[in-house]
């Protein structure tokens, strides 16, 4: 399972702070100008255009992808429960926005 993120993405950072992704066996790929491997992995899944619209993106073990923050968070909460991992902060309904557009691959 892979979580595609970007350094200045508010929602990406929220997920990385909320969950112990390493303990949950979720690989984090940070998209940026300096990591051609992460971009190639994203392209292999056919998700470059999707990433240009919004991040984060969670690619599941069956290669399907979740794009909406609420669905990603819900899936990770379920996975954390299965793995017995604590969750740092539970989401309280309203998520931080990305009005600046920084939550997309540019």
- The chain-wide mean pLDDT, for the chain, equals 86
Strand order, beta sheet including 65-66 = 27-31, 2-6, 57-59, 65-66
Over the stretch 18-69, which tens digit does the pLDDT of each residue have? 999 999 999 999 998 778 999 999 999 999 999 999 999 999 999 999 999 9
CB of 19 closer than 8 Å to CB of 85: yes
Strand 2-6 to 57-59 pairing = antiparallel
Task: List the beta bridge partners of residue 65.
Answer: 59
Superfamily (CATH) of domain 2-83: Glutaredoxin (3.40.30.10)
> Hey, where are the domains in the chain?
2-83
Asked if the bond preceding 56 is cis, omega within 30° of 0, the reply is: yes
pLDDT band (50, 70, 90) for residue 105 = confident
């Amino acid at each position: 399972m892979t979580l595609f993120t970007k350094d200045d993405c508010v929602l990406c950072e929220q997920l990385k702070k909320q969950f112990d992704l390493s303990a949950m066996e979720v690989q984090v790929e940070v998209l940026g100008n300096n990591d051609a491997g992460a971009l190639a992995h994203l392209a292999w899944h056919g998700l470059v255009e999707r990433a240009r619209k919004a991040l984060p993106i969670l690619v599941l073990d069956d290669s399907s992808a979740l794009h909406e923050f609420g669905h990603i968070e819900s899936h990770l909460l379920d996975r954390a429960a299965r793995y017995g991992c604590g969750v740092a902060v539970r989401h309280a309904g309203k998520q931080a926005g990305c009005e600046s557009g920084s939550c997309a691959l540019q």
